[in-house]
Amino acid sequence: MDNNWLDLLQNKNQLSKVIETNQYTEQFGLTLSQQDAQLILENRKMALREQKRVEFGEGIVPKIIHEFCDSNYIDQSNYVDTIIRLQEIFYLYKNEMNDEITDDELIHLMKEQYENLCFGDLDYLESTCLSNFAQAIRAGYEGFKETDGYGEYSKFDLQERWSYELYAETLKELCWR
């Protein structure tokens, strides 16, 4: 009975912390209802159980919300689903990176790749970007500690990208044919 009381108190506190993020996210056109916040926290509990992790305090959800709410790829229609998926990815890669990376470093890395390389594609973020970076960390890479997770992925990106010069040259060739 005491555990149930403690769980209820902790859940109520976490729920209020998630709802409080609305004060900040409203400026980006994003808000969570009580039911949305509850759904996110229920999925959090499942993700923690699946990854065999324990989390104390307000948890990672408010940090994820604050980091991602200004994304070009999140709007009210996909907001809840995106936050749920981001927290699942977060917990997975905290394990995959052997907890060598801080929560803030991982969140910064995730956001930067989500915006600039994945263009909102959560599958690509999870299966390619973070997978490559986790391999580097498991191999001993620690450079991210100096940058707080910013600007790190390009050192491990194995995909060849289009440069502006290459794009312009290709466009010119296509137009002159």
Model confidence pLDDT, tens digit, residues 15-73: 889 999 999 999 999 999 999 999 999 999 999 899 998 877 778 999 999 999 999 99
Q: Are 97 and 137 in contact (CB under 8 A)?
A: yes
CA 11 to chain centre: 22
The total number of structural domains that make up the chain:
1
Q: Which domain holds residue 16?
A: 2-175
DSSP conformational letter for 50: H
Q: Is the pTM of this model over 0.85?
A: no
Model confidence pLDDT, tens digit, residues 103-137: 999 999 999 999 988 899 999 999 988 998 898 88
> Distances from the Cα of 143 to the Cαs of 96, 125, 136, 147, in angstroms?
17, 20, 10, 7
Rounded CA separation 113/143 (Å): 17
Rounded CA separation 127/84 (Å): 17
